[in-house]
Structure 1
Amino acid sequence: MTADSTLRFYADPEEFLAAAGAYLAANPVVSTVVASVTRRMAARRAEGVTLPEDDWWLVVRDASGAVVGAAMRTAPFPPRPAFLLPMPPEAAEALARAWHRRGERVRAVNGALPAARACAEEVARLDGGRVAVAQHTRLHVLDHLTPPAPAPGALRAATADEVDLVAAWFAAFMADADEQAGRPRGTSAHETPDRADLLRRIRDGRVWFWTDGSGAPVHLTAANPPSFGVARVGPVYTPPEQRGRGWAGNAVAEVSRLLTAEGARVCLFTDQANPVSNRLYAGLGFRPVVDMANLALVD
């Protein structure tokens, strides 16, 4: 295979979905990130929002013309990592060479293993540096929900006038997750949704609080709208002073029930370095589907 014959880049998310939609739909759990992000960006474009000029999507085809992989580079945060779905290793390496020819400097590659590592190692060979693991993640899907031990309180949808609290807990989520996984706070690069995006999520009914017996919010769980029948839960955040009381397990279980009632399959990511969250979700009935990694190219 050569890069010219197997790789095609797209600047328009709708054109990418037209080319890769059947491929994404065939394995919607594994494709959840690419599918949900692309649909959100297509909706923004339809609303008249101008997308960054250097965003792209990629379709990988084999010699017969069948789609065998996909990727995107849409992350708004530095170093703007590319995100790869499973693809043949030679295609992942061809992608790195295509970036090199395009003069595109890529210093982080996220996504499914082993494709992401094959791509990152070829980037390192071409452009220098070495591949370091910033984070190992694992994608899980819910088979059959096992209810947790009941906790006081109840789940309720967040409201627009609570957007400041939602924003604060979204921002705290990744820093606290780093700390729980034994990494320095702020190690993991991530997107922090802006106020308009958070309000959109709240108004779409995709952000919930678990409230204690007094009605005060003590935990946040959010989810993405379903893409190809799969809804991804996250973030899941409990402030430090509220942990260990069962809020997270009960909230995720109840959100999973709501999403399942809508007809969606439920999935979520865990950080493999965080034993607490991995035990929690395994206990609720989530099973591993694919290992992924956030890989950095360091000098």
Structure 2
Amino acid sequence: MPDLELYVDPAAFLRDAGALLAADPVVATVASTVSHRIADADRRGEPRGDYPHWWLAVRECGDVVGVAMRTAPFEPYPLYVLPMPQEAARELARVLHARGEQVLAVNGALPAAQQVAEETARLVGGTAQVHERMRLWEATEVVTPPQPAGRLRAARAEDTDLATRWWNAFATDAAEQAGRSAESATGEYLEAREMARRVEEGLVWLWEDESGRVVHLTAHNPPTYGVARVGPVYTPRDARGHGYASAAVAAVTQRLLDTGAQACLFTDLDNSTSNKIYEAVGYRPVVDMVNLRID
């Protein structure tokens, strides 16, 4: 039976599990970027939100062979599970159930995420159902698309309010584009203060049309273990269909590659438009993941 260790300190988790995350940094991108971000916020003395914060390392013969975490700041506060032995995945569900922790959603890599969700559903007498099918992509080179009028530029302080509104609109619009209801949307919502930090760090990019009007936003995370994750990618409805997303993602990806970072992103497999766009500019599939809900 693998050993499971829960952490409440992301710095301690990264100390113990960092080698595993670094060994496959593209697949581990969410766990590594989120863990580093919360560890940095802890060092700055910023309070955490009132929702679960824990990390998990799975060990076999003393070596970390799998990880999971629960840090999502949005309901229903899904677990995030990376590859791990089947028995460890099922044991994680049993441990959380035994300590009375309600689990209504599990995201992450197949088959581990599904095994956690199915065991949880068995324990509570429910069912585990797929809510979203996700694909992780990586680009090692960029295919430059046709260029729309205008230019890409870094967001500035005066763009913070607009960038915050667009970031927070992304989840709802993405759900609708994938054929789901707006009410089913889940995603990270930022306050203006956090957006201002990301703008200052050069993580948010905007496309201006030929008149100088901002028509698109593409953001990315800072690299962790050499990998930067692009997203969200957002064009408001009245500006879609002009190629802004393709041009911006291609340009931002090229900038990341030029720094020596690897570039990756996620797509919703039910959104055919975004999948075609990213494949056309050079992204290639790495692994399929899933977001599950437990009824």
TM-score (norm 1): 0.96
Residue in structure 1 matched with residue 112 of structure 2 by the alignment = 115
* 1:206 matched to 2:203: yes
Residue in structure 2 matched with residue 11 of structure 1 by the alignment = 8
Q: For 1:293 and 1:196, how far apart are their aligned partners in 2?
A: 31
Counterpart of 1:142, as a letter, is: A
SS at match of 1:155: strand
* 1:61 matched to 2:59: yes
SS at match of 2:183: coil
- Identity over the aligned pairs, expressed in percent? 52
SS at match of 2:185: coil
1:221 touches 1:233 (CA, 8 Å); kept in 2?
Answer: yes
Q: For 1:180 and 1:285, how far apart are their aligned partners in 2?
A: 22
TM-score (norm 2): 0.97
* 1:219 matched to 2:229: no
| Structure 2 gaps, min length 5 | none
Residue in structure 2 matched with residue 229 of structure 1 by the alignment = 226
Residue in structure 2 matched with residue 102 of structure 1 by the alignment = 99
1:165-210 Cα shifts (integer Å, max 9, x gaps) = 1111112111111111110113122120111111110000100101
Residue in structure 1 matched with residue 90 of structure 2 by the alignment = 93
Counterpart of 1:290, as a letter, is: V
Number of residue pairs matched? Answer: 294
2:51 touches 2:71 (CA, 8 Å); kept in 1?
Answer: no
2:51 touches 2:77 (CA, 8 Å); kept in 1?
Answer: no
Q: For 2:286 and 2:265, how far apart are their aligned partners in 1?
A: 10
Instruction: Pick from 246, 262, 265 the counterpart of residue 265 of structure 1.
Output: 262
1:227-283 Cα shifts (integer Å, max 9, x gaps) = 000000000001111111111000001101111122110000000000000001111
Which range moved further: 227-236 or 48-57?
A: 48-57
1:73-108 Cα shifts (integer Å, max 9, x gaps) = 011211111100111221111100110111111111
1:20 touches 1:67 (CA, 8 Å); kept in 2?
Answer: yes
Residue in structure 2 matched with residue 285 of structure 1 by the alignment = 282
Q: Over aligned residues, Cα RMSD in angstroms?
A: 1.1
Residue in structure 1 matched with residue 179 of structure 2 by the alignment = 182
1:82 touches 1:109 (CA, 8 Å); kept in 2?
Answer: yes
Q: For 1:15 and 1:208, how far apart are their aligned partners in 2?
A: 33
2:31 touches 2:69 (CA, 8 Å); kept in 1?
Answer: yes
* 1:158 matched to 2:158: no
Cα 1:25–1:295 shift into 2, 3 Å: same
Cα 1:235–1:54 shift into 2, 3 Å: closer
CA shift, 1:128, in A, is: 2.1
